[in-house]
Structure 1
Amino acid sequence: MQAEIISVGTEIILGQITNTNARYLADQLRQLAIEAPWQTNVDDDPARIKQALATAKERANLIFICGGLGPTEDDRTMAAVGDYLGRQLRLDEDYWQQIKVQLEARSISTTVSPENIRQAYYLAGGTPLSNPTGLALGVYLKDGAHTYVVLPGPPHEFKPMVDQSLLPHLKADFGKGHQTHSALLHFVGRPESLLMQELASLGLDERLVVTSYVQPDEIQVRVTLHDVAKEEATSLLEQAIAKIARQEADYYIGRGAGVSMASQLVALLKEKGLKITGAESLTGGLFQATLCSVAGASEVFDGGFVTYAASAKEQLLGVPVETVRQYGVVSKQTAEAMASGCQQKMGVDVGLSFTGVAGPDDLEGHPAGTVWLGLAIKGRPVESHLLRLPGQTRQFVRQQSVQEGMRLAYNALR
C-alpha cells in the first residue's frame, strides 16, 4: 500500500502558509505502516488539481486531497475531484441543516446561498466525513483499486476530521495486522545534536528506530519498532523510555500527543496544590500567555506582572532602586528581586521572573540573547540562572526563555 498526499492551495504554492497538514497526515499514516513517498502541492486551478490526481493514480493506491473545501469561489477541490472521477456531487440534506444551525449559533446569516451550501456536497458513491470543528464535509471514496480521501485545509478542521472521522476508516481498511509501534517523547533545554548523541550511547535495542524533530519550543524524539508483536514491542518501548528518561532527567518532560512544558508544569502544580505567578520583562507576558493556554491553568495561576520598564519593576514588584542602579535590569540581582517580588505581591508559592535582552541591539553592555531567570519558591532561597542565546531572533529568544523558565520551575518542584 502506497499513498500520496496532494495539498491544494495557492497560498501554499506562494509560501504564505506552512503546510502542517501534510506532516500531520504523514505521521498518522506512518503509524498505520502506510508508506507515503509522494507529496504534491498544487494551486486552486481545477485543471492542475486533475493533473495532480492523474499523476497520483499512476503510482499510489491511496490518494489524499487536502484543502479547497470552503465556501468561496476559489474553493473548487470537491468539484475538480468529482469531474476527474466522473462522479456527481450530492447534497447531504441532513448535514446542510446542521450547517444552518451552526451558522445561526454563530450569529451569521443562514440565507441559503451557493457559497454556504456547497460545503454540504460530497462525491456520489463516497462516505461523507463529518467536520467536528468546521462546516465543510470531507469524503472517503473507493473507486476500483484506488481510495480517494478529500479533506479540508484549515488545520483546526483538518486534524479533528482526520482523528475522529478518517482514522476509523483507514484502520478498518488498511490497518489490519500492521506491526508498527511507537512513542513520542518531548525534551526541553537540550540541543538536538547533543541529545541524539546521548541517546545513541545508551545501547538501546538495535531494532528501535530513534528519530528527532526540532519544534519551536522543544525537541521531539520518536522511538519506533516495526514488525514486532505488540506484547514484545510494548516491553521494549517501555524499557527504552525508562532508560532515556533516566539519562535525560533534567530535559525529558513526558510522552505522547498534547504534552508540552506548560502542560507538565500546570499538572505538577495541581498535583502539589501550589500556585505560580510571573514577572516578565523581555518576554512581555509570553510566559503567562503560554501557561494560560493550558486547560485548567486557573487552578494554579491567579495573575502576574509585565514590567517592561525599570520604573515598573520598582513600583509594581518592589525591586529596590539601588539594585537597578548598581546592577542594571539585566542582572542576577534584578531577576531575583523580580521573582521574590511577584511571589510576595501575589501571595503564592512560586514566582518566576524573566529579564534580559531580546535583541537585536545590546542593552547595558549585554549582548542580545543574554537572559536572567529568577525563581522564588516559598520556604527556599531565591535562585537565578543565566541563559545565553546569541545570534537568534527576538522571537526565538523570548520563546526559549519561557521554555527554560518553565523547565527551571518544573525541575525545582518535582
Structure 2
Amino acid sequence: MNAEIIAVGSELLLGQIVNTNAQFISKGLADIGVNVFYHTVAGDNQNRLTSVIQTAKSRSNLLIFTGGLGPTKDDLTKETVANVFQKELVHDEVSLTYITNYFLQTNREMTPNNKKQALIIKDSTILPNDNGMAPGMAFIHEDVTCILLPGPPSEMRPMFNKYAIPYLHSRLDVHTKLHSRVLRFFGIGESVLETKLQDLIEKQSNPTIAPLASEHEVTIRLTASHSDESTARKLLDDTEQEILKRAGSYLYGYDDDTLERQTLNTLQKHNLTVASAESLTGGLFSKAVTDLPGASSVYSGGVVVYSTALKQSMLRLPDTIVEKHGVVSIECAKWMAEEIRKQTKADYGISFTGVAGPEEQEEKPAGTVFIAISDKDQTSSFSLKLAGSRKSIREKTVKYGFRYLNQLVKKGQ
C-alpha cells in the first residue's frame, strides 16, 4: 500500500500551527506496515484541494485527510472529496442527533451551519468522534481508499487509533508490520558515516538503512518489515552488527536517548555529582543539565566566568597561566575544572573555554575549543577544532562535554 497524508487548512501554510497530525499518522501507519510516500498540505480552497486530490489518487492508493470537517464555509474537505470521487453527501442521523443533544445539554444555541458537521459521504463507514462533533469516514472507490479525519489532534488521534486502524486491518488485510530501531551517533559527520556504510546502503532491502543528521548528531533508522516480531528483531540485530563493525566507536545510544539524559543517568547510577565552569559556552551546559528532571541529584551548580578578570577573582586563575598560555588554553581549562570541583565539593568538575567567533581571540581561530574534566585523581583535557556558526560551535561544544563526561564516569567506575 502506498499512502498519502493530506492535511487541509490555510493555517498550516501560514505557519500558524505545526502539522503534527501527519507525523502521528505516519508513525501509526508504519506500525502496521503501510508505506507513506507523500505528505501534502492544501489550503482552504476548493480548486487547489481538488488538484491535490487528483494528483494524490493517481500515485497513491490510500489517502488520509485531516482537517476541514467543521461547520464553517472554509471547511471544504468532505465536499471536495465527494465531488472528486462523484459521491453524494447525506446527513448521518446518529451524528446529527448527537450534535443536537450536545447543544441542548450545554444550553447553547445550535446555528444551522452546525448541521453541516453531520454530513457524510454516502455509503462510507462512519468513524465516530468520541471527543468532538464531526464524525470521520472511510470509503473505497475503485482501488483507492479514502479516510477523512478531523483536524484537532485531540479528536484526530483517538479516532485514528480506535477506528481508522481497525478499519484498515479489517478491510485491507494489513498484517505485515514495520519494526524500527534508531542508532544514535556523535562525533562523526553524516557524509563520513554514510561513506563507511555505502555498500550496506546500496544493497539494502529488508531492513532499510536511513541516515539522518539532526541536532549536531547523526542517527540511522533501521526498518524491518515482517509479520513476525522475533524475525524482524533478528533482521535488525544482524544489520546493526554490520554497522557497528564500521562505526561502533561513535555509537552512544538508541531510539530516544540523548547525550544529556544518558550522562545524567550515569551520574545518578553511581551517586556522583558534577559542577561546571563555563566561559565559551556561557551557561549552555548548566541549562542543558537543569532542563532534565532529576538534575538536582547530580548537578552541584556552576559559574559563568566570561571575562579574564572574573576567572581570576572567582576561580583564582593564576596570572602565570594568563600571561604564559592565555585563557583560551588547555592550562586554563584544567585550572577551571579543578577549581570548580574543589569549591563545590563535587565529584567532577567540567570546564569550557575557547573561541566561538567570528573573530579570533589570542591569535586562535574561531572553533578552537578546550574542555577539561577533573576528578579527585586526575584532570583530563580535550582539544577540538569545530566549524560552523557561533551558535553551532557553542552547542557542539556542550555536546562534546556531555560525551566526554559520560565516558570518563563509566571508565572510572
- Report the TM-score when normalising by structure 2: 0.76
Structure 1 pair 161–290 and aligned structure 2 pair: CA distance change class (3 A)? farther
- The answer as to whether partners of 2:305 and 2:311 remain within 8 angstroms in 1 is yes
Residues 378-389 of structure 1: matches in 2 within 5 Å? Answer: 378-389=375-386
Residues 215-364 of structure 1: matches in 2 within 5 Å? Answer: 215-227=214-226, 229-241=228-240, 244-245=243-244, 248-256=247-255, 258-364=256-362
1:178 Cα deviation after fit: 0.6
- The answer as to whether partners of 1:66 and 1:151 remain within 8 angstroms in 2 is yes
1:300 Cα deviation after fit: 1.6
1:126 corresponds in structure 2 to 127
Distance in structure 1 (CA, Å) of the matches to 2:316 and 2:109: 60
1:347 Cα deviation after fit: 1.6
1:48 corresponds in structure 2 to 48
1:66 Cα deviation after fit: 5.1
1:299 Cα deviation after fit: 2.1
Deviates more, 1:11-20 or 1:218-227: 11-20
Distance in structure 1 (CA, Å) of the matches to 2:98 and 2:340: 56
2:64 corresponds in structure 1 to 64
Secondary structure at the aligned position of 1:265 is classed as helix
Report the RMSD for the aligned CA atoms in angstroms: 4.0
1:47 Cα deviation after fit: 4.7
Distance in structure 2 (CA, Å) of the matches to 1:347 and 1:297: 17
Structure 1 pair 343–69 and aligned structure 2 pair: CA distance change class (3 A)? farther
Structure 1 pair 374–234 and aligned structure 2 pair: CA distance change class (3 A)? same
Distance in structure 1 (CA, Å) of the matches to 2:240 and 2:234: 10
Structure 1 pair 64–328 and aligned structure 2 pair: CA distance change class (3 A)? farther
Q: What amino acid sits opposite 1:33 in the alignment?
A: G
Structure 1 pair 10–285 and aligned structure 2 pair: CA distance change class (3 A)? farther
- The answer as to whether partners of 2:184 and 2:252 remain within 8 angstroms in 1 is yes
Gapped regions of structure 2 (runs ≥ 5): 83-88, 121-125
Deviation string 1:28-49 (CA, Å, 9 cap, x unpaired) is 5344321222232333545534
Secondary structure at the aligned position of 2:403 is classed as helix
1:407 corresponds in structure 2 to 403
Give the greater-gyration-radius structure (CA).
2
1:148 corresponds in structure 2 to 147
- The answer as to whether partners of 2:187 and 2:217 remain within 8 angstroms in 1 is yes
Residues 176-195 of structure 1: matches in 2 within 5 Å? Answer: 176-195=174-193
Q: Does 1:80 align with 2:69?
A: no
Distance in structure 2 (CA, Å) of the matches to 1:369 and 1:91: 66
- The answer as to whether partners of 1:50 and 1:81 remain within 8 angstroms in 2 is no
Residues 167-178 of structure 1: matches in 2 within 5 Å? Answer: 167=161, 169=163, 171-174=165-168, 176-178=174-176
- The answer as to whether partners of 1:129 and 1:138 remain within 8 angstroms in 2 is no
Q: Does 1:38 align with 2:38?
A: yes
Deviates more, 1:7-16 or 1:323-332: 7-16
2:86 corresponds in structure 1 to none
Q: What amino acid sits opposite 2:253 in the alignment?
A: G
Deviation string 1:94-146 (CA, Å, 9 cap, x unpaired) is 9x99xx9xxxxxxxxxx9899xxx9xx7875433375xxxxx88964313443
1:10 Cα deviation after fit: 5.2
- Report the TM-score when normalising by structure 1: 0.75
1:393 corresponds to which of 353, 365, 389: 389
- The answer as to whether partners of 2:149 and 2:159 remain within 8 angstroms in 1 is no
1:318 Cα deviation after fit: 2.9
1:307 Cα deviation after fit: 2.0
- The answer as to whether partners of 2:33 and 2:175 remain within 8 angstroms in 1 is no
Would you say how many aligned residue pairs link Structure 1 and Structure 2?
380
Deviates more, 1:361-370 or 1:302-311: 302-311
1:206 Cα deviation after fit: 7.6
Deviates more, 1:340-349 or 1:5-14: 5-14
1:270 Cα deviation after fit: 1.1
Secondary structure at the aligned position of 2:63 is classed as strand
- The answer as to whether partners of 1:64 and 1:151 remain within 8 angstroms in 2 is no
Distance in structure 2 (CA, Å) of the matches to 1:80 and 1:48: 11
- The answer as to whether partners of 1:357 and 1:363 remain within 8 angstroms in 2 is yes
Distance in structure 2 (CA, Å) of the matches to 1:277 and 1:292: 12
1:407 Cα deviation after fit: 0.6
Sequence identity (%): 28
Q: What amino acid sits opposite 1:223 in the alignment?
A: L
1:54 Cα deviation after fit: 4.6
2:212 corresponds in structure 1 to 213
Structure 1 pair 355–178 and aligned structure 2 pair: CA distance change class (3 A)? same
Q: What amino acid sits opposite 1:291 in the alignment?
A: V
Secondary structure at the aligned position of 2:129 is classed as strand
Secondary structure at the aligned position of 1:52 is classed as helix
Q: What amino acid sits opposite 2:222 in the alignment?
A: V
Residues 81-120 of structure 1: matches in 2 within 5 Å? Answer: 81-84=77-80, 85=82, 86=89
1:305 Cα deviation after fit: 1.8
Distance in structure 2 (CA, Å) of the matches to 1:315 and 1:70: 64
Q: What amino acid sits opposite 2:214 in the alignment?
A: Q
Secondary structure at the aligned position of 2:29 is classed as helix
- The answer as to whether partners of 1:138 and 1:152 remain within 8 angstroms in 2 is no
Q: What amino acid sits opposite 1:212 in the alignment?
A: P
Deviation string 1:235-263 (CA, Å, 9 cap, x unpaired) is 3423443564576454212112x211111
- The answer as to whether partners of 1:335 and 1:354 remain within 8 angstroms in 2 is yes
